[in-house]
Chain A
Amino acid sequence: MKLSTNFLKDYLDIDINSKEDVYNLAENMTKVGNEYDSEGMLIEATNLVIGEVLECKMHPDSDHLHVCKVNTGKEVLQIVCGAPNVRKGLKVIVALPGAKLPGGEIKKSVIRGVESNGMLCSIAELGLESKFLREEDKAGIHELDKDAPVGEDPIEYMHMKDGVIDFELTANRGDLLSILGMAYEVGAIYNKKVKDIDLSHKEEGKLDFKLNIATDNCSLFLAKKALNVNIHESTPEMKEKLMASGIRPINNVVDISNYVMLETGQPLHFYDADKLLGMIEVRMAKEGEKLTTLDKQERTLSIDDIVISDGKRAIGLAGVMGGLDTEITENTKNIIIESAIFDSVKIRRTSNKILRSEASNRFEKGLDPNRTYMAMERACTLLEKYADAKIVSGMEVYDKTNKEDKKIDITVDNINSLLGSSLTEKEIIDIFERLAFKVEKNGDKLEVYVPSRRLDISIKEDLIEEVGRIYGVDNIQGRLKEMTIKKGSYDNTTREIRNKMVNLGLNETLTYSLVNEKEADMFTLKNNGIIKMLDPLTEDRNALRQSLITSLLKTYEYNVARDNKDICLFEIAKTFYKENEDYKEENKLACLMTGEYYLGLNTKQVDFYIIKGVCEEVLDYLGYSGRYSFVQDKEKLPKEMHPGKSAAISVNGDIVGLIGRITPEICKEEVYVMEISLDKLLIKKVGKMKYKELSKFPVVKKDIAVLVNKDITAQEMLKTIKNNGGKLLLESKVFDLYEGKGIPEGKKSIAFSVTLGAQDRTLTDEEINKVMEKVITGLQSKHGAELRK
């Protein structure tokens, strides 16, 4: 809402003249909750004066420039002017040297050898918005009236000295979409009373048309008739206020409908009465019904749109825009005035679909029925005054609204106990009176009568907000209340995992949940449905990801394109999928590793075993040591993974994630990834951390090397060793692997280090040999292992 301070001053005695006054008003409004986007003067140009062209000669060195002598009251200046319409005797706007125009500062200069001490201006050069410029404004310099006083301020002379504040209002303050509403608000801040609006006019004759309201979506409809209007240009004052409010002047009658809307907040519509085929009817549109609106666009309507009809055809899209057939033209004589309230939700839907307008914006926010009546009277007053209209007596009225002031009971304690303030009753009553709310005392209670214009106020808390904002919440001291303490549910496991990953040398990323539909189920077994957006912003982000690897891979590519190397990333985030018709979220941890992991002179490239180490570190840290295994089963791996260099991660026998290399078909470079479902993992119980007695007796380490078939995994063999080792076997691990020269084709040599010991004694050679023999026999019988000497 653009507020013209001139317009405001019609209803409030307030000193707002300078640029500084306008800024202060804007700031004061901000403090009570009305933010602004911009503020300033309608015409920001300075150092302007009315001048008269005394002499106008062609420039000796140009075919279009003129050299003028211009009387500015104090002196006669020589100014070079290029406008085609400059001539002797013209009253002009002179920008003196030092004048600041939107195009820059005016300086004394020499133009093609001739001295020029200023500039003769067009309206456009003063910075008026282009949508308000007429053809003549674009063609040349502005021609002032013959009687324009030389030496005076041309902006004031043209009635264009005005402040404009563009407010960004909150959705609940529809009342501020009117000058009157603004006047009440500003009046409350500056403690000024709002002036009465002039509604006086004469009426004669008798109404000759009928009204039919055929829908519940219209709660109030008023119609009146005005005859013999005289159509011409509006007064400069009215045109200026419209422009300052952002509305383009058309002619006096159309301007009046906009002017009254700006004053009261009630949109009006004027129909050319002679073009109506009969009565006025409000109904829902028929499906597919056509209507050509004022902007000459043919609109196709649906049963959710409210229309005005003349009994034969739609003549207006209620609350949004009138129809072209019945619009006011230069030849219009008689008009029907509509002032009505339509259902705000219906208007909102229609305007979202078809067109947003100044009118629809006001209907959507809700209207005060008292203003509907006021606007009708005001329109008649102005039509009589500015268009010589004869107002027909009587009014067609359909009214289902409640126009009473709302009464809300409140106590001083109610207010202070919600604000934490210590306001007195007198202070509170004073605030309500500033807001022009009637207050009656009834014992402890204050009975506050909220005017119908304040649709946003319906409960006590709304009134408390009014008190708070006018009093100024900056005046209330903040405090920290003592409260009972209760055990929280906060679980920091995610944070611990994050810290672990950071300590393992990975960079944490934050990527988008939305991806392209085609990527949504990459790196999964594609067992679940993809969740798609009904109305995506772009095709790139039209579905929710099921795996974080997709995002990490994109991030990897982004970094490679920027020549970043040694990329090791991780992220903890939600993934989403559809199971039957249920929407599910799943928390996952994923990482991607490539390039050098060890730094220094002895670097090491990331391979499967490095990412496996990262995975084990996390699982061991979380307490799953000894409960997980890596399963090399193609059936359990997404097709995006390298089948020979990937595995499913199994914890307690359930698959919780995957690990391995991305298939070279997707990624030529060796890129290793891992993803674990934290939801699946963390429900698995882990034992409590507990101290185990240190053994007082020495342990024995034995190494064994065996030849086995290549495809037998270390994991299988370690399991055999463990199963055969019994209680005395404390630990077993692989310490060497050899294939190649000296080893038969298809075989490998693998060496294990086995630690034996007991809590209560030193083992005898006999005991040790017995265990080792069992272990070796196990390996031989289970895996066909051959002991190497």
Chain B
Amino acid sequence: MEEQVKQIEKSALEELKSCTELKALEETRVKYLGKKGELTALLKQMGSLSKEERPVIGSMVNKVRDELEEIISSKEESLKKEEIAKKLESEKIDVTLPSTKIRRGSKHPLNRIIEEVEDLFVSMGYDVISGPELETDEYCFERLNLPKGHPARDMQDSFYITTEYLLRTQTSAVQARAMMANKEKSPIRVIVPGKTYRREDDATHSHQFNQVEGLVIDKDITFADLKGTLEVFMKHMLGEDTKLRFRPSYFPFTEPSFEVDVSCFKCGGKGCNLCKHTGWIELLGSGMVHPNVLKMNGYDPDKYTGFAFGTGLDRLAMFKYGITDMRLLYANDVRFLSQFDRKD
């Protein structure tokens, strides 16, 4: 019997070795350890053994069974792992195929600039306000010290609707509105981004364009404040190395008035096509609010002073993004628009 046990052990071990599938493993287990298995059959024959032999053979059989069970269970585990691995392998996909998504939108470069300007000024405590695009002559001109027949009106060819109504030629129109709306006549600090219209259309002028206006009124506002503010504004938009040049100029609603040039960011001031070899690019109009404007809109010029500035956002957008033709901003070619589709 002892011989038999050894024989079963040997052949079982050999069979187990050759098992490469879970099914064969189970068959082997049944063959030796199942209810009708060879080893189980041996145990059933134990009754025919002598008292002395029984415990010896019994423990021998149990040992072999334990051994086989352990081998089977470890083999089972590794075969299971293999099988899962095989299954997963067969499920492999091509991760380089295109994703499924909706098309990507984009924000118009001009509105990007407007948002950037708004964020900067809001961070400095300014309010952002707006006004009508269909404006009255009164707010667009008269309240800004530009009475009818004033020669400076020649500078701005306007789209009139009636003799009193026109499409605003400048966001400055909102200056007067901001002052008039402030009933307590308290300090003002606002910017006004928006659309403006002039009766001209050529390679460098669009009849519709965008400006941002700034207006600050308080006690003790000086030219130095205007200069400091525009320095921050321009450096933020065009780079920290940007230099400013204030040139005295004339606007009826400011006195003194200045045009502001920025150092050419393309050539750094050395001279190139963009700056027409001057090293400077004219970008803003500005000045100290004219006392007549303060007076006409309810502010006492003996108590208050202020500064105002305005700039064309179209040109700012063109400079910032390197857009060479202004007409692209209004053509809305999807190939153009789609380029403005990410965080800058």
Contact = CB atoms under 8 A, between A and B. Distances in A.
Interface of A: 30-33, 35, 170-173, 344-345, 348-349, 364-365, 417-421, 456, 459, 461-462, 464-465, 468-469, 473-474, 476-481, 483-486, 488-490, 495, 498-499, 501-514, 531-538, 541, 544, 555, 558-559, 562, 564, 566-570, 573-574, 576, 583, 585, 596-602
A468 B248 contact: yes
B250 A505 contact: no
B38 interface: no
Interface string B112-137: 00010010001011111100111000
A363 B239 CA distance: 45
Contacts of B249: 33, 35, 170
A23 to B, nearest CB: 11
B107 A514 contact: no
Nearest to B200: A537
Contact of B288 (A418, A510, A567, A585): A418
A510 B110 contact: yes
13 contacts: A30-B247, A348-B149, A419-B222, A419-B224, A420-B224, A421-B223, A465-B257, A478-B225, A489-B129, A511-B330, A536-B159, A599-B98, A599-B100
Given A461-B256, A498-B111, A513-B133, A507 B105 contact: yes
A489 B191 CA distance: 12
A686 B111 CA distance: 27
A533 B134 CA distance: 11
B220 interface: yes
Size class of the B contact interface (CB-based, 8 Å): 35 or more
Contacts of A498: 107, 111
B223 A419 contact: yes
- Most-contacted residue by chain A among B105, B149, B161 (CB, 10 A): B105
B258 A503 contact: no
Contacts of B246: 473-474
A740 B340 CA distance: 46
Interface in B278-337: 288, 290-291, 305, 329-335, 337
B197 A513 contact: yes
- Most-contacted residue by chain B among A32, A35, A172, A464 (CB, 10 A): A172
Interface in B22-39: none
A33 B247 contact: yes
Contact of B256 (A171, A468, A485, A531): A468
A498 B306 CA distance: 34
A396 to B, nearest CB: 29
B268 interface: no
Nearest to A563: B335
A507 B335 CA distance: 10
A601 B255 CA distance: 64
A721 to B, nearest CB: 30
A498 B107 CA distance: 8
Q: Is the interface of B mostly helix, strand, loop or mixed?
A: mixed
B143 interface: no
A643 B159 CA distance: 37
A480 B250 contact: no
A600 B159 contact: no
B105 A504 contact: yes
Nearest to A416: B222
B103 interface: yes
Contacts of A506: 105
Interface of B: 97-108, 110-111, 115, 118, 122, 124-129, 132-134, 149, 151-152, 154-155, 159-162, 165, 167, 186-187, 189, 195, 197, 199-201, 207-208, 216, 218, 220-232, 245-250, 255-259, 288, 290-291, 305, 329-335, 337-338
Given A170-B250, A585-B133, A585-B134, A474 B103 contact: no
Contact of A534 (B103, B161, B257): B161
B148 to A, nearest CB: 8
Nearest to A541: B207
Nearest to A564: B334
A490 B208 contact: no
A362 to B, nearest CB: 11
A504 B107 CA distance: 12
B248 A513 contact: no
A532 B104 CA distance: 37
Contacts of B305: 417-418
A173 B248 CA distance: 12
Contacts of B197: 513-514
B333 A490 contact: no
A537 B207 CA distance: 9
B194 to A, nearest CB: 9
A485 B186 CA distance: 12
A601 B98 contact: yes
A598 B133 contact: no
Closest 6 CB pairs of A and B: A420-B224, A33-B248, A420-B222, A465-B256, A478-B228, A478-B227
Contacts of A35: 247, 249, 259
A446 to B, nearest CB: 17
A597 B161 CA distance: 41
Contact of A533 (B160, B231, B247): B160
A479 B225 contact: yes
Contacts of A480: 124, 225, 228-229, 232
B332 A558 contact: yes
Contact of B160 (A485, A535, A537): A535
B79 to A, nearest CB: 37
A365 B159 CA distance: 24
A536 B200 CA distance: 10
A713 to B, nearest CB: 27
A490 B128 contact: yes
B224 A495 contact: no
- Most-contacted residue by chain A among B104, B118, B305 (CB, 10 A): B104
Nearest to B186: A486
Contact of B151 (A344, A569, A601): A344
Given A585-B134, A601-B100, A483 B330 contact: no
Given A33-B247, A508-B107, A598-B101, 7 more contacts: A419-B222, A486-B186, A498-B111, A507-B338, A531-B161, A555-B332, A569-B337
Contact of B224 (A478, A514, A538, A576): A478
A171 B134 contact: no
A489 B248 contact: no
Contacts of A505: 102-105
Contacts of B122: 488, 490
B337 A583 contact: no
Nearest to A510: B108
Contacts of B134: 531, 544, 576, 583, 585
A284 B208 CA distance: 40
A481 B225 contact: yes
Contacts of B245: 474
A558 B330 CA distance: 11
Contacts of A464: 255-256
A459 B223 contact: no
Nearest to B129: A489
B133 A459 contact: no
Nearest to A509: B332
B229 A514 contact: no
Contact of B101 (A499, A513, A599): A599
Contacts of A601: 97-98, 100
